[in-house]
Structure formats: structure tokens, C-alpha cells
Amino acid sequence: MAFITESHLRALLSQGLPNPFRLSDGDRLTPAARDFLHDRGIPIAGAPVVSSTGGGDKLKPKAEIPVGVSNRHIHLSEEHVRLLFGQGYVLTPLKELSQRGQYAAKETVSLVGPKGLIKDVRILGPSRGETQVEISRTDGFQLGVHPPLRLSGDHTDTPGIALYGPKGLIVIERGVIVAKAHIHMSPGDAARFGVAHGDRVSVQTHGERPLTFGDIAIRVHADFSLDFHLDTDEANAAFLKQGDYVSISAGGSNAARAKG
Ligand SMILES: [Zn+2]
């Protein structure tokens, strides 16, 4: 039994944090310690399933996939960084994200659609080949832009939008999406869950308003940390927040392959 704090975890950093981080019976993490692990993409093993009933949930699968809620954000091409922020401008990392090498930048821009404007939209780095704007369906109503549900990078038949930065305005012809919810995982996790890259699974949430999300894409890469990425509309619908845990309730390789 121990009370584990962020400074305790920082002290462990030099020798490498265990991944997953195992809790013994009675161990408790402070909220800051939990964030610290989540920010580094380290899952917590032995974490209790959040149960609203406190009993009678014998068949509930173990909730061990951490939730990452994506607010609206923008990935910029190098050229668009230059047009919005000026020649030679380099984005300033503000916060590391759970996926290795990805960060939230200090910089923000405004999105302008036919119906309205959303200010201070966060830019995620590093810059990419093609600019991509990820908004929720609710944001789309505010902006007057109605993008389809797409996995990152698929810009087929997507609308454009205007972006205002401190040094300029650009109008992109396409690249606005509502991001399709997905689970990032390493090859080891994929083997453990019996799924493969490109599979679709169902995800069960365990909050105050338990929901099942269907057609959730599995993304497998050696650099990925276990994380269920969904947008603010989906998280709000399920009363989910960053750092909660969900489980895979159905699907996997066999189901996906049978469908082709
Ligand atoms: Zn993601």
C-alpha cells in the first residue's frame, strides 16, 4: 500500500518507468501522478474499473485502455506555418502528447467558416505534408462547415476553411475532417488484444452514462502508446474525460477479416 506522487515518478524517470505501470493492492496515484503517466503514454495496470453501481458487474471486461480526448486542433504543412506565422518560424512545443514525437504547440490560429469563427485553435506539431483541421460536429455547426467522418490523412471529399494567423490568412480547399475515433497501440498490445492494424472493434465505456462505440479503427505502430482517441462530442456524450479507461467489447481480427 502506497501513495504514489508525481515527484515519486519523476525520481524513477532516470532508471526508466515500468510500462505498464503496475499498482499493487491499495496503491493510490495522485491525480498529478496519473496525468504524468498518461502524458507519457504509460498505461496503468491494475487500475480499478470505474463502476457506477458498485456491484453486480461480474461480466464487465477489464477497462484498461486510457482515454485521450481530442479537442479541435490543426496540423499544418511547413508552407502553411510560414504563411501564418512568418518566414523561418518554428512552432514552440508546449506539451508532449501521448503519441511519441507529437506535441501541442504554443501557437494557435482562428478558424473562419461561412457561419462563424472559432478563435485560439491549437496547432499540433510537428508539421505535416498536408494541412489537416480536426473539428467536432458541434464546431461544424458553429462554423457552417460540415466535414465527413475520416481517419487522419484521408482528405477525399472534405471541405476547406479559412485560417487566420498572426502573419497571414490562408484558405485551404480541403482537409477539414471530423476525426474518426480510433485506438493507437503497439504490436505487443495488438497481440494481447487479438487485433491487427485496420481492424474495427467496439469500445465499451464505463462512466455514468455507459456507451458502446462501434466501428472503432485499430492503428498499430511500434511508436504508438495505448490510447483511445475520440473527440469532445463523443467524450461528452459518454461522460468521459482524459485519463478514464475503456475496454474493447467486440470485434478484432476475425470479425474484420470475415467482413473483408
Ligand atoms: Zn490519434
Helix (H) or strand (E) segment spanning residue 185: strand 182-185
What are the backbone angles phi and psi of residue 93, rounded to the nearest 5°?
-65, 130
Q: CA 162, 165, 168, 171: dihedral to nearest 10 degrees?
A: -10
Which residues sit opposite 37 in a β-bridge?
none
Pairing mode, if any, of strands 65-70 and 28-29? unpaired
Q: Single out the residue of 128, 175, 122, 117 nearest to residue 147, CA to CA.
A: 175
Q: What are phi and psi of 63, to 5 degrees?
A: -85, 110
Are the C-beta atoms of 3 and 10 separated by less than 8 Å? no
Alpha carbon of 21 to ligand 1 centroid (Å)? 21
Q: According to the model, what pLDDT value does residue 252 have? A: 66
Ligand 1 centroid–CA 106 distance in Å is 20
Distance between Cα 182 and ligand 1 center (Å): 6
Cβ neighbours of 32 (radius 10 Å): 11
Residue 166: other Cβ atoms inside 10 A: 11
Q: How far is residue 137's CA from residue 75's CA, in Å, rounded to a whole number?
A: 18
Distance of CA 2 from the midpoint of ligand 1 (Å): 33
pLDDT mean for each 10 residues of the chain (260 residues): 78 79 77 82 66 43 88 97 96 92 96 98 93 98 98 96 97 98 96 95 94 97 95 97 93 50
The C-alpha atoms of residue 217 and residue 179 are separated, in whole angstroms, by 11
Kindly give the distance from the C-alpha atom of residue 146 to the centroid of ligand 1, in angstroms, as a whole number: 21
Rg, C-alpha atoms of the chain:
20
The alpha carbon of 228 and the centre of ligand 1 are apart by a number of angstroms equal to: 7
**Cα gap 180→251, rounded to integer Å:** 17
Q: How far is the CA of 183 from the centre of ligand 1 (A)?
A: 7
pLDDT of residue 5: 83
Domains in the chain (CATH in brackets) are: 20-50+62-68+181-259 (2.40.40.20), 71-177 (no CATH)
Predicted confidence at residue 50, as pLDDT, reads 43
What pLDDT was estimated at residue 195? Answer: 95
Distance 1 CA to ligand 1 centre (A): 34
State in Å: Cα 26 to ligand 1 middle. Answer: 32
Q: From ligand 1's centre to the CA of 147, what distance in Å?
A: 18
Give the cell for residue 243: 485519463
- Quote the pLDDT of residue 190: 95
Of 162, 139, 169, nearest to 232 (Cα)? 139
Cell of 134: 480536426
